[in-house]
Amino acid sequence: MPRPNQNPLHNLDEWEEDLLSRYPDPESIAQSKPTEAYRNYEEPSRDTVKEFYRLNHTYQTYDFVQKKREEFLKFNKKEMPVWAAFDFLNQLVDDSDPDTDLDQFQHLLQTSEAIRRDGHPDWMVLAGLLHDMGKVLCLFGEPQWAVVGDTFPVGCAYSDKIVYPEFFQHNPDFTNQSYNTKYGVYAPNCGLRNVTMSWGHDEYVYQMTKDYLPEPAQYMLRYHSFYAQHRENGYDHLMDDHDREMFKWVKLFNPYDLYSKNPNPPDWNELKPYYEGLVAKYLPANLKF
């Protein structure tokens, strides 16, 4: 059998557009604004998204995640100031897609600006600015299915609340008796800090920045793609009371990530002094990747 294309998405935004079609903006529904205010979701991209999830659900095994944690959580790949990291991240722009109007940094800035406009604490604004920084994993050669996509616990049964649950049948853990029971390697309500999540940009950026951010911001970064819980409540049996408290913040964060995309980029020169101050307040001179 030919080796499947490891990167079926035309660009990483395709996954996020799919999220928008699964979780449409309640405000645009209320005002019956056409959802094309974001971007029209077309059938052909549904196939690439489906293939993307097939790969993701097939290969994100418990052992795969341990291997990636071992490889990337040493943070010995690169060291650079945050501002250089945004430039690095922006190399992800896909110029084969004429429709890709906004680069990665614009999405981060629009998310953080929407949070700031609503008067939330400055560390939440910073979480908005940083939340997708982990996508630099793609630039280290990682396949899309190991960088983006909805995240979920590994080492226990997959919830049918995860998108395309049928693809988990191809995952070797699906038939491994250590991993395929409701709790698997975990204890009931053990708390997510004891649970290993599928590998991707969320865990990576959380681990990269956790020493510098208050705990609610850490949760926002770490679980922002955990839709099976923050939208679908499929893993309550692994959460403890502290997680439930912290997930109020994760839920507060999610709409800023999903619904802040706007074709008009904010004026960076005007915003720069604020963000330079914010980054200097919380983060060290260099981040380690």
Binding positions for Fe ion, rule: CB under 5 A: 132, 257
The CB-of-132 to Fe ion minimum distance in angstroms stands at 4
Q: What is the DSSP letter of 288?
A: E
Nearer to Fe ion, 132 or 243 (CB): 132
The CB-of-140 to Fe ion minimum distance in angstroms stands at 17
Nearer to Fe ion, 221 or 239 (CB): 221
Nearer to Fe ion, 133 or 156 (CB): 133
User: Which residue, among 143, 138, 132, has the nearest Cα to 59 in the 3D structure?
Assistant: 143
The CB-of-254 to Fe ion minimum distance in angstroms stands at 10
Nearer to Fe ion, 113 or 257 (CB): 257
Report d(CA 78, CA 17) in Å as an integer.
30
Nearer to Fe ion, 103 or 132 (CB): 132
Instruction: Give just the sign of the alpha carbon dihedral 56, 220, 162, 239.
Output: positive
Residues composing the chain: 289
The CB-of-223 to Fe ion minimum distance in angstroms stands at 11
The CB-of-92 to Fe ion minimum distance in angstroms stands at 12
The CB-of-255 to Fe ion minimum distance in angstroms stands at 11
Task: Give per-residue burial for 78-116: e unless 16+ CB within 10 Å, then b.
Answer: eebebeebbebbeebbeeeeeebebbbbbbbbbbbbbbb
The string of DSSP letters for 116-172 reads: HHTT--HHHHHHHHHTTGGGGGGGGT--GGGTSS---BSSSPPPTTSSSGGGGGGSG
How many Cβ atoms are within 10 Å of 126's Cβ, its own excluded?
Answer: 27
Nearer to Fe ion, 25 or 132 (CB): 132
